[in-house]
């Protein structure tokens, strides 16, 4: 894509795993969750449920089979995946399955860039798909984190398959 600087991954500073990740277990499936800031949850939860969010942070249930999306065990608050405005890419039944929420690039588009576009690395996939060009991950991605790892995982899988 023209005019895009691909020498720097714009949200690369968000790639570190949060210290609180794999902390509090989901109240339904007991799988450890991934820490998510309140601002992310506020942008993800359906408008009619905003008053239930509170001022505290949450965890994202990382179990693909679990119906829970966000939860806070201390305040006994939980939201189901049906309460979220966008499909959570790793949950079963997610359609579309976004790889990059900010640029609305799907897993299928990343795979297509590798298979049909002959991309072999992140830079080539970003050039073909336009992923990561409009980063605002904290409010667009249900995890509140950069999609770099998600896209790289899809690339790796597509190169093996």
Per-residue H/E/C for 82-105: HHECCCCCCCCCCCCCEEECCCCE
**Residue 57 near residue 42, CB atoms below 8 Å:** no
How are strands ordered across the β-sheet holding 34-36? Answer: 34-36, 58-60, 68-72, 77-80
Whether 53 and 106 share a structural domain:
no
Q: Distance (Å, rounded) from C-alpha 100 to C-alpha 65?
A: 21
Q: Select from 136, 147, 130 the least CA-distant residue to 88.
A: 147
For residue 70, the enclosing domain spans 31-78
- Tell me the pLDDT band of 5, cut-offs 50, 70 and 90: very low
- Tokens 């939201």 belong to 79
pTM of the prediction? 0.86
Confidence at residue 132, expressed as pLDDT on a 0 to 100 scale: 96
From residue 14, give the alpha-carbon distance in Å to each of 88, 124, 142, 161. Answer: 19, 21, 14, 29
Q: Is the pLDDT of residue 86 over 70?
A: yes
Which tens digits make up the pLDDT trace of 26-85? Answer: 999 999 999 999 999 999 999 999 999 999 999 999 999 999 999 999 999 999 999 999
Q: Distance (Å, rounded) from C-alpha 86 to C-alpha 101?
A: 9
Q: Is the pLDDT of residue 22 over 70?
A: no
Question: CATH code at 123?
Answer: 1.10.10.1100
Flag whether 15 is in a domain.
Answer: no
Question: CATH code at 54?
Answer: 2.20.25.270
Q: Over the chain, what is the mean pLDDT?
A: 90
Flag whether 4 is in a domain.
Answer: no
- Tell me the pLDDT band of 21, cut-offs 50, 70 and 90: low
Which tens digits make up the pLDDT trace of 126-151? Answer: 999 999 998 999 999 999 999 999 99
């Amino acid at each position: 894509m023209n005019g895009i600087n691909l020498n720097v991954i714009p949200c690369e500073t968000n790639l570190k795993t949060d210290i609180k990740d794999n902390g509090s277990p989901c109240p339904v499936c007991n799988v450890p969750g991934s820490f998510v800031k309140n601002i992310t949850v506020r942008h993800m939860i359906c408008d009619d449920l905003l008053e239930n969010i509170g001022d505290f942070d949450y965890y994202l249930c990382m179990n693909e089979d679990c119906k829970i999306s966000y939860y806070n065990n201390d305040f006994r608050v939980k939201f189901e995946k049906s309460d979220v405005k966008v499909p959570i890419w790793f949950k079963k039944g997610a359609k579309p399955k976004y790889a990059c929420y900010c640029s609305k690039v799907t897993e299928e588009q990343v795979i297509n860039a590798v298979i049909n576009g002959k991309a072999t690395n992140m830079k080539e996939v970003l050039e073909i798909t336009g992923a990561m060009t409009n980063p605002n991950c904290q409010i667009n991605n249900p995890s509140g984190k950069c999609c770099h790892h998600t896209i790289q995982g899809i690339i790796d899988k597509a190169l093996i398959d």
